[in-house]
Amino acid sequence: MEMRSEKDISGCSLAGFISESGERISGDVIISSIAVMHERGNGLGGGFAAYGIYPDYRDYYALHLICDDDKSREQAERFIENNFYIECKEPIPTRNVPSITDPPILMRYFIKPMVESGKEDDFVMHAAMKINAEIDGVYVISSGKNMGAFKAVGYPEDVGVFFRLEEYEGYTWIAHGRFPTNTPGWWGGAHPFTILDWAVVHNGEISSYGINKRYLEMFGYRCTLLTDTEVMAYLFDLLLRRHRLPVEIVAKALASPFWEDIERMPPGKRELMMAVRSVYGSALVNGPFAILLGYRDGLIGLNDRIKLRPLVAARKGDMLYIASEEAAIREITNPADVWMPKAGEPVIGRLKGEIQ
Amino acid sequence: MKRIYAKEEVCIGCRLCEIHCIVQHSRSKRIIKVFKEEFPRPLSRVIVEEKGPLSFALQCRHCDEPFCVEACMTGAMYRDEEGRVMHDRDRCIGCWMCIMACPFGVIKRDEGKVASKCDLCPDLEVPVCVANCPNEALVYREVE
Amino acid sequence: MSLSLIQQEFVVERDDEKCIRCEVCVRQCSFDVHTYDPEYDEIVTNDSRCVGCHRCASLCPTGALVIRRSPLEFKENANWTPGVLNNIYRQAETGGVLLTGVGNDRPYPIYWDHILLNASQVTNPSIDPLREPMELRTYLGRKPEKLEVDMTDEGPRLKTELAPQLKLEIPVLFSAMSYGAISFNAALSLARAAEIAGTYYNTGEGGLHRDLYRYGKNTIVQVASGRFGVHADYLDVAAAIEIKIGQGAKPGIGGHLPGEKVTGPISETRMIPVGTDALSPAPQHDIYSIEDLRMLIYALKEAVEYKKPVSVKIAAVHNSAAIASGMVRAGADIIVLDGFRGGTGAAPLVIRDNVGIPIELAIASVDTRLREEGIRSQASLIAAGGFRSSADVIKAIALGADAVYIGTAALVAMGCHLCQKCYTGKCNWGIATQDPYLEKRLNPDIATRRLVNLLNAWGHEMKEMLGGMGINAIESLRGNRLQLRGVGLTDTELDILGILPAGR
């Protein structure tokens, strides 16, 4: 069993929104929002995830890769060719930004796995983890359908400009600015972390990481990206997709109510919560966190069970906004309704309409 | 009124109650000095009864209607305002009628005069036999 | 009768200036060390009989007694130590198997003392258990891999039915100590303390005395190779049933209650004649293989209509991981691993000191193996064998245990001084005896209080340590080996434990 000895501590600014009616919005909006929280980061990592950005390839898995050099890129492409049908392959468009230096090779592939239907998601998930674990110098940044993640070493607003995000339109956007305390300089270490179409941005430190990781490993997940945020994404994949638990229950597994509160609940709910905590005890995420989780059908914001990190939410019309600071929301809208979600209470935005 | 009760199921027959009673009723109240140098040594007012594995500490019951007070011709035995049966050494003439009258046999003869009868350690909050029993076989409480 | 060469272990030093001839020591020593000579008004001591239990020294009202190691010294010899020499003298004189009590006392490595805990600073706030909720509650039993939840109009409803669970308010239970090895008062104290503290105690293989049936909901009953006291009511009254395959103090052999300790009440409870040695067979004679175990587990589950968890206890030995995996697949709801430091009332000295492996390594390897096979959630893991403090408990949980059994620590809390003479039945502290004179010395009110105090103290300490790590629920520490670091361990030991060296 290989031990990873460096743990990255996640800071520190989150922003995101969803248009529940499926209206697609340009990336410059999210850039303005995250830019307000400049002081929460230290310029050593920024990233975005967006949904609905590849309408022409909506049925293909959009694989975003970073590769150290051509040799590793070729090795990755061989693997992809052997296992997938590639509809299109191209470099991810970028522009020069002085503060973003030494970019790796950035590629995207629109692919379909060569397996029978029903098994595609698991196949893509394992393929992505295999690439990360076994092919040196290559990392899968995102692997979902009609979505993509963009991240680099730099302030998030600069990263957004670098990736030309104003040219994309999505119905859900999430963004992150980082304040790492470990050795920086690795593009793969920025947020969001993704698996299939789950994308997580995280502010916090997971003190239960050691057991969350071992729990996930029992189900075939491999935690390779040197950061505790990875387990968040995998836990959602396991509980929401594979175990098919309702999202409110998943929130209760990850940010569980206290036993003294469970004792006071009505009998049916009490029995349910006791079962959730007993069965999913190793999925309980302990330690401070605020997360935004984007997925194909929505956006979830969640705090740890004693709310040790800030998170603010707002609604206006069919838009839901969630961010670390109210200022980041007010920068891009004049909301009707602003509130602070309680510890362990998820904020859920759901895609109701057709994607435009 | 609080009295001392014995729990015979946990009395271990060590007789430390007797030792501490002696010390409490001594002049110096220092155990080594009492045993090595104070003569005559005071008598213990608590008596440990033993038969086989059964043992317990017995002392004056401070009866509500004390036979010894009735039998005392000088009034040396009396009931105080709290209900404790007390002995006034200065009034005692050593006739030993109290010893004959006591149904529990807890009054002992001292040099010439009647001695040791439990006085519930009036200067202390908890009598020393109770406080020093290593196995909590004596309890000091009020029972209706 | 030739000269005995067995060396005395202790000398009793009496300060004559302080001795007031109260004779408490004479009355209290069951080994007849002290006698009073009225002619010379002095107390004579026969040091050779002293076992070092400290009863006399503890009760002496003037502190006149000190017990020291016998100063009679051999020529220094690192190989032929005094202990080894004495064992041979003893065997030469008796021709018998040397017996002993309590757990392995040899200086094998103690891994707990090489493992350190983390604390959160700056990036993650530590949590103050006096001001914030800190949860130690633990459920032991089989858990499903996932839950099914229906969304109804009234909200989410649980669809999956959970297997029966034991609910513990603190992840510490009282280990199996048979009535017979320990006195009724000791067993009663353990039962009462378990009830007060919200945990469980284990009957051991001595059956269950009728007067203890009222504590049934805090009782785990044991079905061991001798099947002492196993009948329908026994199973009926319990909260869980434990099949004892082995124990850490004497892996591979059965329990042993010397005839001196088989009195009337013991005979009735165990269903054996008075005065006979109660020797449990080495194996359970109906479990010769893993499939036999499966049959017994399900026979017991049927007998209790699947309403109680069934646990299986093994000693930690070389193949513990594979055995544990088999046990889980055989249907055990709880696995108990007893390390080589586990205690006993009577065991052959040579077995106690040479058989078994440390519990730290056993927990780590069993937990790792069960996770590798994807079956970890099917059984809870209880670790036992020489846990001395709340830190040992926390470290065990971080390595992967769900809870910890304490045996020796509980006895020490009640007054045991580890003289290792339990098998004589002359325990001066009233713990490991059936002698009515001696049994009274353990007052259940006091002993219960002391046990509850111990659990409360350890519970608070555990909360402080959890809070320091930035964790507020014990399940987030369970198996979380990243919160541990090793010092002074080899690479192999670190690898087996699954922890990093301090500094990384």
B6 touches chain C (CB under 8 A): no
B78 and B25, same structural domain?
no
Q: What is the mean pLDDT of residues C148-157?
A: 89
Specify whether B87 is located in the same domain as B42: no
Q: For residue C358, give every residue at least 6 positions away whose Cβ sits within 8 Å of its Cβ, in sequence order, or none.
A: C108, C109, C110, C111, C316, C339, C340, C341, C385
Euclidean distance between CA atoms C142 and C165, whole angstroms: 7
Q: What is the pLDDT of residues C293-304, one digit of tens each?
A: 999 999 999 999
Name residues whose C-beta falls within 8 Å of residue A284's C-beta, 6 or more positions apart in sequence: A208, A253, A254, A255, A256, A277, C473, C475, C476
Alpha-carbon gap: A301 to the closest alpha carbon of chain C (Å): 20
Which chain C residues have any C-beta within 8 angstroms of a chain B C-beta?
17-18, 20-24, 27-28, 59, 61-62, 436-437, 440-441, 443, 445-446
Structure tokens given for C338: 């007893």
Inter-chain touch C59–B11, beta carbons under 8 Å: no
Q: Hey, is the C-beta of A279 within 8 angstroms of any chain C C-beta? A: yes
Tell me which of A306 and C366 has the higher pLDDT.
C366
Q: Is C29 annotated as a binding residue?
A: yes
Q: How far is CA C286 from CA A130, B53, C226, C281, C319, in A?
A: 47, 43, 11, 11, 21
Residue B42: name the closest of B59, B20, B57, B10 by CA: B20
Residue in chain C nearest B35 by alpha carbon: C20
Whole-angstrom Cα distance, residue C403 to residue C139? Answer: 9
Q: Is C419 annotated as a binding residue?
A: no
- C344-C348-C354 Cα angle (round to 5): 90
With contact defined as beta carbons under 8 Å apart, do A333 and A316 qualify?
yes
Q: Which residues of C touch A310 (CB under 8 A)?
A: none
SS (H, E, C) C313-381: EEECCCCHHHHHHHHHHCCCCEEEEECCCCCCCCEEHHHHHHCCCCHHHHHHHHHHHHHHCCCHHHCEE
Prior bond of A341 cis (ω within 30°):
no
Residue type, A49: A
Contacts of B10 in chain C (CB under 8 A): 440, 443, 445
Candidates B11, B14, B35; nearest CB to C59: B14
Whether C28 sits inside 8 A of B12 (CB atoms) is yes
- C19 annotated ligand binder: yes
CATH topology of domain A13-54+150-350: Glutamine Phosphoribosylpyrophosphate, subunit 1, domain 1 (3.60.20)
In angstroms, what separates the C-alpha of B100 from chain C's closest C-alpha? 29
For residue B112, the model assigns a pLDDT of 66
Instruction: Give the pLDDT confidence score for residue A10 in this predicted structure.
Output: 52
How sure is the predictor about C137, in pLDDT bands with cuts at 50, 70 and 90? Answer: very high
| Sole residue written with tokens 């502190």 | C63
Asked if pLDDT for residue C277 goes beyond 80, the answer is: yes
- CA–CA distance, A118 with A233 (Å, rounded to integer): 21
Over residues C330-348, mean pLDDT: 95
Q: Does residue B83 share a domain with residue B30?
A: no
CA distance C7 to chain A (A): 51
* Distance, CA of C201 to CA of C277 (rounded, Å): 25
Interchain CB distance below 8 Å, C28 and B35:
no
Q: Name the residue among C124, C158, C165 with its Cβ closest to that of A272.
A: C158
Helix (H, G, I), strand (E, B) or coil at C112: helix
Instruction: Give the ranges where C160-240 is alpha helix by DSSP (H).
Output: 184-197, 232-237
Whether residue A223 lies in the annotated active site: no
How many CA atoms does the CB half-sphere of A320 hold within 13 Å?
22
Residue extents of the structural domains in chain C: 10-96, 138-475
Q: Give me the pLDDT at residue C202, please.
A: 97
What is the pLDDT at residue A185?
64
Classify burial at C71, counting beta carbons within 10 Å of its beta carbon; exposed 0-12, middle 13-18, buried 19 or more: exposed
Among residues A12, A67, A88, A223, which one is catalytic?
A12
Q: How far is A30 from chain C (nearest CA, A)?
A: 27
User: Total domain count for chain B?
Assistant: 2
Contact with chain C for residue A268, Cβ under 8 A:
yes
The per-residue pLDDT of chain C, averaged, comes to 94
Parts of chain B with a pLDDT under 50: none
Strand duo C278-279 + C256-257: pairing: antiparallel
Minimal CA separation from C411 to chain B, in Å: 16
B contact chains, 3+ CB pairs < 8 A: C
Q: Is A305 an 8 Å CB contact of chain C?
A: yes
> Which of C21, C61, C446 shows the shortest C-beta gap to B135?
C446
Q: Is residue C422 part of an annotated ligand binding site?
A: no
Q: Measured between alpha carbons, how far apart are the two ends of chain B, in Å?
A: 9
Is the bond into A192 cis (omega within 30 degrees of 0)? yes
Q: Where are the alpha helices (DSSP H) in chain A?
A: 28-35, 70-83, 120-134, 156-162, 209-217, 229-236, 247-254, 259-263, 267-279, 326-330
The CATH architecture to which C138-475 belongs is Alpha-Beta Barrel (3.20)
Residues B70 and B90 both lie in one domain: yes
Q: Give yes or no for B28 touching C (CB within 8 A).
A: no
Q: Do both B106 and B37 map to the same domain?
A: no
Encode chain A (356 residues) as per-residue pLDDT tens digits.
334 445 555 558 999 999 999 999 999 999 999 999 998 888 888 999 999 999 999 999 999 999 999 999 999 999 999 999 999 999 999 999 999 988 999 999 999 999 998 899 999 999 999 999 899 999 999 999 999 999 999 999 999 999 999 999 999 999 999 887 655 567 888 889 999 999 999 988 889 999 999 999 999 898 876 677 889 989 999 999 999 999 899 999 999 999 999 999 999 999 999 999 999 999 999 988 999 999 999 999 999 998 889 999 999 999 999 999 999 999 999 998 999 999 989 999 999 977 76
- Nearest by CB: B12 against C61, C62, C441: C441
| Residue C25 assigned as binding residue | yes
Count of CB atoms situated within 10 Å of the CB of A92: 17
Closest Cα partner for A287 from A312, A261, A308? A308
Which residues in chain A touch residue C476, judged by CB atoms under 8 angstroms apart?
A: 207-208, 211, 281, 284-287
Beta strand C240-244 with C219-223 is parallel
Residues 151-210 on A with a CB inside 8 Å of C are 181, 204-205, 207-210
Region C163-169: mean pLDDT is 97
A267 phi and psi, to 5 degrees?
Answer: -50, -45
Give the C-alpha separation, A8 to A181, whole Å: 7
Nearest chain A residue to C474, by CA: A281
Rg (CA), chain B: 15
Q: How many helices and strands in chain B, by DSSP H and E?
A: 5, 6
pLDDT at C329: 95
Enumerate the domain spans of chain A.
13-54+150-350
B63 touches chain C (CB under 8 A): no
Residue (of A157, A244, A229, A245) closest to A195 by Cα position? A229
Nearest residue to C228 (alpha-carbon basis) of C272, C265, C184, C185: C272
Q: How far is B62 from chain C (nearest CA, A)?
A: 27
A5/C504 touch (CB, cutoff 8 Å), yes or no: yes
What would the CATH number be for the domain defined by C10-96? 3.30.70.20
From B95's Cα to the closest Cα of chain C, the distance in A is 31
Q: How far apart are CA A189 and CA A229, in angstroms?
A: 10
CB pairs below 8 Å between B and C: how many? 52
Which of C20, C61, C440 is facing B12, going by the closest CB pair?
C440
b/e C147-185 (16+ beta carbons within 10 angstroms → b): bebeeeeeebebeeebebbbebebbbbbbbbbbbbbbbb
Reported confidence tier of residue C486, pLDDT bands at 50, 70, 90: very high
Do A and C touch, 3+ Cβ pairs within 8 Å? The answer is: yes
Cα A152 to its chain centre, rounded Å, is 14
Residue-wise pLDDT for C56-114, tens only, equals 999 999 999 999 999 999 999 999 999 999 999 999 999 999 999 999 999 999 999 99
pLDDT band at C290; cut points 50, 70, 90 = confident
With helix as H, strand as E and coil as C, how does C433-472 read? CCCHHHHCCCCHHHHHHHHHHHHHHHHHHHHHHHHHCCCC
Residue C472 has pLDDT above 90, yes or no: yes
- pLDDT for the residue A92: 96
Residues B124, B107 within the same domain: no
User: Does the beta-carbon distance from C135 to A259 stay under 8 Å?
Assistant: yes
The Cα A93–Cα C205 span in angstroms is 73
Which residues of C366-424 form beta strands (DSSP E)? 380-384, 403-406
User: Cβ separation of C59 and B16 shorter than 8 Å?
Assistant: yes
User: Do B90 and B46 fall into the same domain?
Assistant: no
C149, C376, C471 member nearest A286 (Cβ): C471
Please list, in sequence order, all residues whose beta carbon lies within 8 angstroms of the beta carbon of residue A261, skipping any fewer than 6 positions away. none
Contact A1, C494 (CB under 8 A): no
Against chain A, the chains showing at least 3 CB pairs within 8 Å are C
Q: Which residue of B has its CA nearest to C27?
A: B14
Tell me, rounded to whole angstroms, the distance of Cα C174 from its chain centroid. 7
Mean pLDDT of all residues in C437-449: 96
Structural domain range at position B97? 64-117
Long-range contacts of C372-379 (CB under 8 A, 24+ apart): C373/C325, C374/A218, C374/A219, C375/C325, C375/C328, C375/C329, C376/A218, C377/A279, C377/C142, C377/C143, C377/C144, C377/C145, C378/C142, C378/C143, C378/C328, C379/C142, C379/C327, C379/C328, C379/C332, C379/C333, C379/C334, C379/C335
Residue B73's domain is classified under what CATH number?
3.30.70.20
Which one of A1, A7, A284 has the shortest CB-CB distance to C498? A1
